[in-house]
Amino acid sequence: MSDRITLRRFDDMHCHFRMGHLLNEVLPVTALYAGRAIAMPNTRPRAILTGKDVSWYRDQIYRAGNWFAKQLSFEPLMTIEIRDSTTPEMIAEAKRAGAVAGKVYPLGVTTNSDEGLRDFFRPEISDTFRAMEEAGMLLLLHGELDQERTLVTKREEVFLPTLVMLAKKFPNLKIVLEHVSTRAGIEMVKQLGKNVAATITAHHLCLTLNDVIGYGIQPHNACNPMPKDFDDRDALIKAATSGNPKFFLGSDTAPHTRDKKECAKGACGVFTAPVLPELLVEIFEQAGHLGQLEDFTSRFGAEFYGLPLNEGEVVLVKREWVVPKQIGSVVPFRAGTKLQWKLSQ
Ligand SMILES: [Zn+2]
């Protein structure tokens, strides 16, 4: 076993860069190893809804942090949030501003989804999805529904019929089921056509619900979708390490300041960016599929998005280290624990 691994720079197809001081803190971490990353649009106080917002947010990202000074090659992939009010004209304008995708948050299922989409079946929203299909923009789905008498752990499963409907109604619309978290979700993505793929996070490959509520409440493991059962986690690991191009990296690194996590009604979201390459190497090594890692981090996502592969490499070396208890104002995933691989900078 070698003690050094070289990988093509990553595409992280699901990142929360936030705004203001958090943006400055977290963006350089991802830029260390990702050539590109999808910048999610559910920012506050300003959500990214229009072409103008896209240009403004891209500007904020290019100004943030010191990744530019370090001469790292990094490109944010811009998105808009699709709401009930999003029109085909807004899609065309966002596309002109360089947005590659639109993200749907069904109402009320996660951070900043208070103005999320109410109804996937309205004719007006079908026109919007059709405009995306024609413009070649991807549809990214937070695939959960908050229904009456539905437990938080069942929200992905009850969303799956909506995914099926969208995939069949818009066969040329590329659809990504973001952060798939269940065996049922994996099976559905496999069954659906070539226009449907899924991102998988590193933390859903590590956690079950026990790690969130089974041994005391652990707010820094709490995220949406909630980690599920062992069988679901097994299915995710198998899909991620199988070499199936429908499954690729979207870390959903989602920083919240410590005070927003460690309180009553703490925010959901896990800050995995500072440990992401290291965790993935451990997971793929343990699964006996280290050879599949580069396709998962750096090929399948680019191919689904229709992008050329990244140039440049990242190197990891076998060296035990302890994850810091806090980075800036955020507690990282696996804080205070030992990891066996380290990104070499
Ligand atoms: Zn997210």
Q: Are 74 and 35 in contact (CB under 8 A)?
A: yes
* CA 226 / ligand 1 centre spacing (Å): 12
Does residue 33 contact residue 276 with C-beta atoms inside 8 Å?
A: yes
Residue 111 pLDDT > 80, yes or no?
Answer: no
> Mean per-residue pLDDT for 152-177?
97
In CATH terms, the fold of domain 11-275+291-309 is TIM Barrel (3.20.20)
In DSSP terms, which residues pair with 196 in a beta bridge? 175
| Distance in Å, CA 91 to ligand 1 centroid | 21
Structure-token pair, residue 161: 């019929």
Can you tell me the distance from the alpha carbon of 313 to that of 289, in angstroms, rounded to the nearest whole number?
A: 20
pLDDT at 69: 61
Give the per-residue pLDDT at 73.
85
Would you state the pLDDT for residue 133? 98
* Distance (Å) from CA 96 to ligand 1 centroid: 24
Q: How much is the pLDDT for 1? A: 61
Find residue 330's DSSP bridge partners: 327
Catalytic residues: 252
17 is in an annotated binding site: yes
DSSP structural state of residue 117: B
15 C-alpha vs ligand 1 centroid, how far in Å? 7
pTM: 0.97
Ligand 1 center to residue 41 CA distance, Å? 9
Question: Where do the domains of the chain lie?
Answer: 11-275+291-309
Contact 131, 167 (CB under 8 A): no
103 in a labelled binding site: yes
Instruction: Grade residue 2 by pLDDT with cuts at 50, 70 and 90.
Output: confident
**Residue 179 assigned to a binding site:** yes
Peptide bond into 106 cis (omega under 30): no
Query: Averaged over 246-264, what is the pLDDT?
Result: 97
Query: How high does pLDDT run on average in the chain?
Result: 95
Rounded average pLDDT over 50-64: 95
Decide the pairing of beta strands 4-8 and 75-82.
unpaired
Is residue 16 annotated as involved in ligand binding?
yes
Mean of pLDDT values over 74-87:
96
Residue 154 assigned ligand-binding role: no
CB atoms under 10 Å from CB of 311, counted, come to 9
Does the pLDDT value for residue 71 go beyond 90? Answer: no
Confidence band of 114 (pLDDT split at 50, 70, 90): confident
Mean pLDDT in residue range 208-213: 98
Whether residue 156 is predicted with pLDDT greater than 90 in this model: the reply is yes
Q: What is the pLDDT of residue 70?
A: 66
Task: For ligand 1, an ion, list residues with CB under 5 A.
Answer: 252
- Looking at the DSSP bridge assignments, the partners of residue 309 are none
Any bridge partners for residue 214, and if so which?
A: 216
